[in-house]
Amino acid sequence: MENIATRLVNKSVEAFILGLEIYNKPTIKYRAEGFAFFISNAWELMLKAYLVNKDGLESIYFKDKPDRTLSLENCIKKVFTNKNDPLRLNLERIIELRNTSTHFITEDYEAIYAPLFQACVINYAEKLQEFHNIDITQEVASSFLTLNLNVDKLSDERVRAKYSKETAERLIRERNEIQGEIVSENPSFAIPIETHLYITKKEKDADLKVKIERDATNSVAIIHDIKDSNSIYIYTTSKIISLVNKRLKAKNIKLNKIVRGEETKGIFTTNDFQLFAKFYHLKENSKYCCFYPIGRRYGYSIKTVDFIVEEITKKPTIIIHIKDELNKNRAKK
């Protein structure tokens, strides 16, 4: 039983990595459709392994058809029973793309689905850790979890000029529906894509190296190198806290804290994150954080998780230390 679940998970991880490789390969034109296929396969295998471990091998077969296993749609309904769960809504939207893209093939699906794809990648990594205690960053570098997104604005005029009436109207309808859902749902459904550029002379703070051409019409003449894809700040505060706790659990590490005068062990909380952010000035450091004026919110990179987990691993009593240091600074003032 355990061996079957293990094999399912191993195949799931392989399908997930294949999806990442296809999406991040610029020479593939229909990478959105390819990604939808492999990410759906990855989820189906991972959820089936979860059901096998939880309810036994028979749980992934139809009762009236014992030779046929459940579809991804069936698995989703069994595992994520809340039909309004943003994670479930995200998967159902991507399944729709997988099912219909064979009939409506278009390169512009990426412009519509990119925010959903990014959320789906993060959701998969979290559930793989939660359900199977597997850290996907042991298989691929954490930077690869940030998709290589190249999304142009998909206007009605552009769509109608490029496609037949039937295909154009379908794309416009899908785009409008998904954009409305993105506004109303949380980051488990979609992670909006926003790009911010600014000039710095400090090479260590740069994500892009550029050459300035005095006679050029535009300020940036040549892009030599992309340093780090984590310049896209895709994590909310709650996501950071969740990922930190899952990594600490995998390492079997608990935080030492002082509660009502006594030292106890516990999980990483919102208050702990705020202490980290204040003490290490995370919100002022572009390596970790970006402030989005639209929506007035902070976004964080995966490096924030890496840094916090590293500091706690080195010193499980670090929260006590941070509180003491902040209190000393306040006393001096």
Do the domain assignments include residue 189?
no
Q: What is the largest CA-CA distance in the chain?
A: 74
The DSSP code sequence of 66-100 is TTSBPPHHHHHHHH---TT-HHHHHHHHHHHHHHH
Lowest mean pLDDT segment, chosen from 10-19, 252-261, 315-324 = 252-261
Residue 223: domain span: 196-231
User: Six-digit token pair at 218?
Assistant: 């535009």
Which regions of the chain does DSSP assign to beta strands (E)?
208-212, 220-226, 255-259, 262-266, 289-292, 297-300
Dist. CA 74–CA 331, nearest whole Å: 59
Nearest to 132 by CA among 237, 53, 191: 53
Dist. CA 188–CA 92, nearest whole Å: 13
Q: Are residues 98 and 219 in the same domain?
A: no
Confidence of residue 196 (pLDDT cuts 50, 70, 90): very low
Q: Are residues 224 and 245 in the same domain?
A: no
Question: Phi/psi class of residue 199: alpha, beta or left (left: φ > 0; alpha: ψ in -120 to 50)?
Answer: beta
Taking the alpha carbons at both ends of the chain, their separation in whole angstroms is 62
Mean predicted lDDT score pLDDT of the chain? 79
Q: Are residues 268 and 226 in the same domain?
A: no
Nearest to 39 by CA among 49, 28, 31, 27: 31
Q: Does 288 have pLDDT greater than 80?
A: yes
Axis-axis angle for helices 302-314, 318-332 (nearest 10): 100
Last residue of a domain, one of 231, 252, 286: 231
Do the domain assignments include residue 191?
no
Which regions of 152-279 does DSSP assign to beta strands (E)?
208-212, 220-226, 255-259, 262-266
Q: Does 313 have pLDDT greater than 50?
A: yes
Stated as kind and residue range, the H or E segment containing 129 is helix 109-132
Q: Are residues 75 and 175 in the same domain?
A: yes
Q: Are residues 64 and 166 in the same domain?
A: yes
Q: Are residues 112 and 203 in the same domain?
A: no
CA angle 238, 241, 246 (to 5 degrees): 125
User: Six-digit token pair at 213?
Assistant: 């051409």
- Cα→Cα distances 144→138, 139, 140, 243, Å: 12, 10, 7, 16
Looking only at the bridges linking them, the beta strands covering 289-292 and 297-300 are: antiparallel
Q: Are residues 125 and 266 in the same domain?
A: no
Do the domain assignments include residue 190?
no
Q: Are residues 213 and 173 in the same domain?
A: no
Query: Is residue 221 helix, strand or coil?
Result: strand
Residue 23 bridge partners (DSSP) = none
Dist. CA 170–CA 159, nearest whole Å: 10
Q: Are residues 223 and 241 in the same domain?
A: no
Q: Does 21 have pLDDT greater than 80?
A: yes
pLDDT one-digit tens code per residue, 207-252: 555 555 656 555 444 444 434 433 457 788 888 998 899 888 888 8
Q: Are residues 146 and 179 in the same domain?
A: yes
Exposure string of 306-326, with b = 16+ CB inside 10 Å and e = fewer, is bbbbebbeeebebbeebeeee
Q: Does 319 have pLDDT greater than 60?
A: yes
DSSP class of residue 187 equals: T
Axis-axis angle for helices 165-184, 86-100 (nearest 10): 170
Query: Is residue 292 helix, strand or coil?
Result: strand
Residues near 250 by beta carbon (within 8 Å), at least 6 away in sequence: 129, 133, 135
Residues near 208 by beta carbon (within 8 Å), at least 6 away in sequence: 197, 223, 225, 226, 227
Q: Does 167 have pLDDT greater than 80?
A: no
Do the domain assignments include residue 102?
yes
Do the domain assignments include residue 100?
yes
Do the domain assignments include residue 323?
yes
Q: Are residues 177 and 200 in the same domain?
A: no
Q: How many folded domains does the chain comprise?
A: 3
pLDDT one-digit tens code per residue, 79-95: 999 998 989 999 998 99
Q: Are residues 276 and 209 in the same domain?
A: no
Do the domain assignments include residue 69?
yes
Do the domain assignments include residue 327?
yes
Confidence of residue 30 (pLDDT cuts 50, 70, 90): confident
